[in-house]
Amino acid sequence: MHYWVRASSSDFSGTLPQPRSGHTAAPIGKSKVVVFGGLLDKKFLNDIAVYDIENKLWFQPECTGSGSDGQVGPSPRAFHVAVSIDCHMFVFGGRSGSRRLGDFWVLDTDIWQWSELTSFGDLPSPRDFSAASAIGNRKIVMSELSAGMVVGMVKSGCQMLSLEWTELSVTGSPPPPRCGHTATMVEKRLLVYGGRGGGGPIMSDLWALKGLIDEGLYLNVLSILEENETPGWTQLKLPGQTPSPRCGHTVTSGGHYLLLFGGHGTGGWLSRYDIYYNDCIVLDRLSAQWKRLPIGNEPPAARAYHSLSHIGSRYLLFGGFDGKLTYGDIWWLVSEEDPIAKRFIESPPKTLTDNKGMTAANDNTQSAFKESQREDGVIAELQRKLGISVSFSGPGLQIIDESEDKEFIELGSRLIGERVSNSEHDFLNQTIEVLRDHWRKSRPSSIPLKELGPLLRDYQRLITRHHL
């Protein structure tokens, strides 16, 4: 069993990063996590916030450096890629306003110095919403939306860098073009999941790219040398509870698990809303199947374009966006043996002061949380038994209106079909009545599991209004 625990004032010292989405959080060894860039209220950011793991300290370093235009570091941006190798964080591309970026930077985190890398051959074309990963400790691989994969080779160690960009020659049928996907290196394979296709559809396919690690990378480790493989794509169709199609999610490696969290998908061709997720799904590398991660309490609010970092045996969630609000909250995901989980179970912790841009759900008082804890446990128990995500807007089982319940509206829209309404208000009323009438006439055993979340939330709305 795992628990989501909102970070408390005892977890950190220093100045917390401001809310954002579309940022990156690059781990530098096991010593720190470097958060860079992002988007807040239509403002693109280029600040750096560092979490010192050993000292449990957030700080903003004073960086030096110079770029080709004389600037100290990268210009403000979001939806870029950031990859760490040794003590360096490499940043490429992203978006600033309506402009895609194609500049390439490296930050030396030992001396906090930026350098723009301009003299290493042909850089990849400008791009945003792409994905990248480190291969061993010598290469960077980045996906191109329309032209496959490109690789940057780091030729020397931490003190001196030499890079060369090359385009991979890959065998097999490649994945369809996409953006907003993830690319995660697992041993000798790069795993690519999800994303939005060029024509707009959001995907749920999983692909593996082999042949990225050559024999030379094993000279200094205890490993059996294998003959070089030709890079090639393979689509993986794994058993288990496959995640729904999504983009803007995270996939974080931890032990023999890959943990997928959040992201957003579409509500179907009749729906006007995107659906944002807060479910946890793991890809078990030992059994090679998808599994729902058992969660003992309500998760954070659904979101996409957040960051999720693996720190020791814990996961650290920061930021994100749900279509309306930008988040600045910080959460731990921990196992039930973790002291943080015990702290939550015995006495819910006092949360950190909220930053600008937090949702109203994060402003609930501790007394409201305790009053609803018993009801929360009933819903969580039902959620665990059924293996579904019953998502409310936040702690305390806060009631959300029908018009804000995206899954509820989506289901009703599908039932209405081709009916035409004179106004948006009429459409909403038709949607509500049709869906409730559908549930009244249904036998309990005939209701699909995916409808139970909206059904329970609507039941809660009606009961609460009747009580009031």
Return the closest-CA partner of residue 326 out of 78, 89, 100, 97. Answer: 78
Q: Which amino acid is at 111?
A: I
Residue 216, judged by CB atoms within 10 A of its CB (0-12, 13-18, 19+), counts as: exposed
* Residue for token pair 């599994």: 291
Evaluate whether 43 touches 344 at the Cβ level (below 8 Å).
Answer: no
Interatomic CA distance for residues 160 and 350, integer angstroms: 46
204: helix, strand or coil: strand
pLDDT at 164: 76
Q: What is the DSSP letter of 180?
A: S
211: left (phi over 0), alpha (psi -120 to 50) or beta: left
Question: Which long-range contacts does 364-372 make (Cβ < 8 Å, 24+ apart)?
Answer: 364/394, 364/395, 364/396, 364/398, 368/395, 368/396, 369/395, 369/396, 371/396, 372/396, 372/397
pLDDT at 379: 54
Return the closest-CA partner of residue 143 out of 78, 95, 205, 92. Answer: 92
Domains and CATH numbers, the chain: 2-352 (2.120.10.80), 366-467 (no CATH)
Residue 49, both tokens: 């916030």
229: helix, strand or coil: coil
**Torsion angle, alpha carbons of 94, 265, 334, 460, to 10:** 140
Question: Which long-range contacts does 402-407 make (Cβ < 8 Å, 24+ apart)?
Answer: 402/428, 402/432, 402/458, 402/461, 403/428, 405/454, 405/457, 405/458, 406/267, 406/271, 406/273, 406/274, 406/275, 406/276, 407/267, 407/275, 407/453, 407/454
Residue 100, judged by CB atoms within 10 A of its CB (0-12, 13-18, 19+), counts as: middle
Return the closest-CA partner of residue 95 out of 193, 180, 191. Answer: 180
Interatomic CA distance for residues 124 and 141, integer angstroms: 11
| Tens of pLDDT, residues 148-159 | 566 666 554 444
pLDDT at 232: 84
**Torsion angle, alpha carbons of 281, 285, 287, 289, to 10:** 40
Return the closest-CA partner of residue 26 out of 176, 140, 103, 146. Answer: 140
Interatomic CA distance for residues 82 and 24, integer angstroms: 6
Count CA within 13 A, CB hemisphere, residue 419: 17
Question: Which residue stretches of the chain have pLDDT < 70?
Answer: 119-121, 144-162, 199, 214-229, 267-272, 344-398, 417-423, 467-468
| Tens of pLDDT, residues 392-426 | 444 445 677 888 888 888 888 877 764 545 567 77
Residue 320, judged by CB atoms within 10 A of its CB (0-12, 13-18, 19+), counts as: buried
Q: Name beta bridge partners: 284.
A: 257, 289
**Torsion angle, alpha carbons of 19, 23, 26, 31, to 10:** -10
By residue count, the chain amounts to 468
| Tens of pLDDT, residues 240-275 | 988 999 999 999 988 888 999 999 998 665 556 789
408: helix, strand or coil: helix
**385: part of which helix (H) or strand (E)?**
helix 366-386
Distances (CA, A) of 430 to 42, 236, 274, 447: 35, 42, 20, 20
Q: What is the pTM of this model?
A: 0.72
